[in-house]
Copies of this chain bind each other. A is one copy, B any other.
Amino acid sequence: MTKPLQSIIHIDSYPKLRDPLLISGLPGIGFVGNIAVVHIIKQMNAEKFGEVYSPHFQDVAYSSVDNGLRRPTIELHSCRLPSDARDLVILYGNTQPLSSYGQYEVSQKILSQVSELGCRSIISLAGLKQEYVKEQPQVFCVGSGFDAMDAVCARGVIPLQGEVYGMAGVLVGLAKLEGMQAVCLLAETLGLYPDASAAKALLEKINLAYGLHFDFSGLAETAKEVSANQ
């Protein structure tokens, strides 16, 4: 009853993972990263194995479309990639911590947890707000490990000069402290609505750089769901 209240991760059951790659997509500009990871979770039938509880989330409860109750949350899912020797850990959330302090606390807890699970490599996904966007949205990157950067840059991803706020930035900034390679991929977006097209651009680059095979059917529906679940 007297321990300090801070963010904790409830793990339902510890998955056994082969060289797992973490892909993070939290709510942000155009819900771009959020749409991409919900799409991956659905397509790969990824299984939720843990959940972040944090007093740094908004003090709110949501009633969802099916009348159930949801609270602000960030979830850990995992799945096995069929044709590959490695597994995925997917970080999905319907929220981000309210304060900068909370962003650091939650990011650090997640990095410690996935490091324990054997994860040495991280991709965080985000949108990059632009006034004008090409029909095929460009993808930018910011990264801490040169191998990870080289892999995506070889696929037409453009190194970004700038700043990435929120957990997409903090996860990548702190990854080095845990000895991980990390890259943040940002797809350009107008940011005015949940942007399935920008999410598709991110998934295409991930396919190319990591030799994965996500397909893109149903992305528009996922974008609508993500928007309704915030």
Contacts and interface: CB of A to CB of B under 8 A. Distances in A.
A154 interface: no
Each complex incorporates copies of this chain amounting to: 4
Interface stretch (A17-25, A30-38, A56-64, A212-220): A56-64
Contact of A60 (B5, B69, B170): B170
Given A6-B5, A98-B100, A69 B109 contact: no
Interface string A1-22: 1111110111000000000000
Contact of A105 (B55, B65, B164): B55
Contacts of A8: 1-2
Interface of A: 1-6, 8-10, 53-63, 65, 67-72, 98, 100-101, 103-105, 108-109, 112-113, 142-144, 149, 159-167, 169-170, 172-174, 176-177, 182, 184
